[in-house]
Each structure stands twice: as structure tokens, then as C-alpha cells.
Structure 1
Amino acid sequence: MNKMHFYRPMMTGSIPTSTQSKTTSIPASNISKSQKGYNLEIAVPGFSKEELEIILEEDNLKIIGKYEVEKETKEQFIHKGFTKQPFEISFKLSDTIDNENIDAKVENGLLRINLGLKTEAQKEVKNIAII
């Protein structure tokens, strides 16, 4: 099975890259910005919260949808507009995101992830010594 993993930039000026991985679908997503931070919505029709996993590793936010694809189905589809398939999608986060202020919920086929912004006091400034 050919599987895709997409690495998408989020709130940065970086260029997206893609690599081969263990997924077959890329879910639709929306990204919006509010005064409090960024809001990420991902279409996950048919997925329960137990089948979803969100991993934050440094500045990389990874969302994984786990699902065993059924080999045989008793139904014969006339039209199949959406399908439940395993996926993995990643977003590179800006250093303005507060990693301690991220929450998520799944409701009505949408996974909503709220990414809070750091306050001015949280932004780390480091002086580099010249030697």
C-alpha cells in the first residue's frame, strides 16, 4: 500500500515538504486565526476520539487517524463521497505558539485543535556571546 505523509507549514514562512509514510488519505483542513491564537479544523468523518492521536514534539504537531480498512464490505456503493481511511498529517508550528496552551476536541466529524499564542513575557530572548 502506498502511503503518504504530508508536512505542512503552519504560521511560518517555511516550505512544505512531503515524504512517504503509512497513510492513504489526507483529510481536509482549515486554519484560522483569532486574537487568542490559531484554530485548526480537520475533517475526520466516522472517527471516534479513541481512533485519533495528537502528538506534539518540539515544533511539530502530528495528527494520526488509526483505522483498519475492511477488506470486504457487504454493501455495494453507488457513490462514495467520503471514506474513513487511516491518515497522518503534520504541521510545523511557529515559535509564537504556546505549547502548554493547546487543546482539542472531536465533534460532528471535525477535529478542532486550538493553538494558543505565547504572551510577550513567554517569548524567549537569548543573547549570543561573541567570542
Structure 2
Amino acid sequence: MSTQLDTIQKPAKKATERNWQRPHYDVSENEDAFNVRVSLPGVNRDGVDISLEDDTLTVVGTRIQDVPEAWRPLRREIHEGDYRLCLRLNVSVNEANIQAKVENGILELSLPKADEVKPRKIQIS
């Protein structure tokens, strides 16, 4: 099975750019839609921005750092930085019916296939 959604690799970042991290994600497909699950730990609903432009789906998740003002960590494993995922859609989707929800740090997207790419059953006469 070949995938219809490809991760877009971005060039190395410049020193002035944000500290982006590529989140983990899963893609599944059924006859009506592609379903994408993106892991965005530390990101709430208001911190997610989703756009679709030129067949590229972009998900940006902004983490809100909620630490006390006098916080001085002795060890740091929770890295600062936001999430960015770009997926190229190699198939037409019905943009008007895309659905998204965030729950427990997981973004779930449903990308309905356009009618022209859905499988059709042809009846024999």
C-alpha cells in the first residue's frame, strides 16, 4: 500500500527561526477519508493552528509554558519549542468537510476524500 500523504522535509533552520519539533503522527485510510492523529503533548485546543494550502496540510502546535516565576530546573528533559508538521496531500480531499478535534494532547483530523477519488462500484448490465 502506498501512502497518499507524505511528510515534507524542511531545510535546516536558521538561528533566528523558532525551535520547531516534528510531532509523531499516524495516518489511516478508509474508503471515505484519510484519518490523521498527531501527538501534541502540552498543547491545548487554543494552541493548535491547521491550514491547507496548495495541497499541503500544515499543523502547528504552540505549547504554553506554565512554570512558576522562580523556577530554576536542576535537570531539564521537557524541551521548549513548538510543533510543526507539513503533509503533502497526493490525493484530492473535500476541504469544506475537514473535521478536527483535540483531546488529551492528540489532534484527530478527518480528511474526506473528494468524490472523484472515492472507489466506485460498476454494475454490469
**So what's the TM-score if we normalise by structure 2?**
0.69
User: Which residue of 2 is the match for residue 17 of structure 1?
Assistant: 9
Higher helix residue share = 2
User: What are structure 1's unaligned runs of at least 5 residues?
Assistant: 1-9, 123-131
1:54 CA drift (Å)? 0.4
Q: Equivalents in 1 of 2:117, 2:89: separation in Å?
A: 19
Amino acid aligned to 1:11:
Q
Q: Equivalents in 1 of 2:117, 2:52: separation in Å?
A: 22
Figure out how many residues of one structure are paired with residues of the other and give that number.
110
Amino acid aligned to 2:25:
S
1:111 CA drift (Å)? 0.3
Mark the CA change 1:121 to 1:109 in structure 2 (over 3 Å): closer, same or farther.
Answer: closer
Higher strand residue share = 1
User: What are structure 2's unaligned runs of at least 5 residues?
Assistant: 119-125
CA-to-aligned-CA distance 1:65-86 (integer Å, 9 cap, x gap): 1235579735555x84x65631
Matched residues, percent identical? 21
Q: Equivalents in 1 of 2:73, 2:19: separation in Å?
A: 24
* Alignment of structure 1 residues 40-119 onto 2, 5 Å: 40-67=36-63, 73-74=71-72, 76=74, 80=77, 85-119=81-115
Q: Equivalents in 1 of 2:117, 2:4: separation in Å?
A: 20
SS class of match (1:100): helix
**So what's the TM-score if we normalise by structure 1?**
0.67
Supply the RMSD in Å over aligned alpha carbons: 3.0
CA-to-aligned-CA distance 1:85-117 (integer Å, 9 cap, x gap): 312111111232222221100012100011000
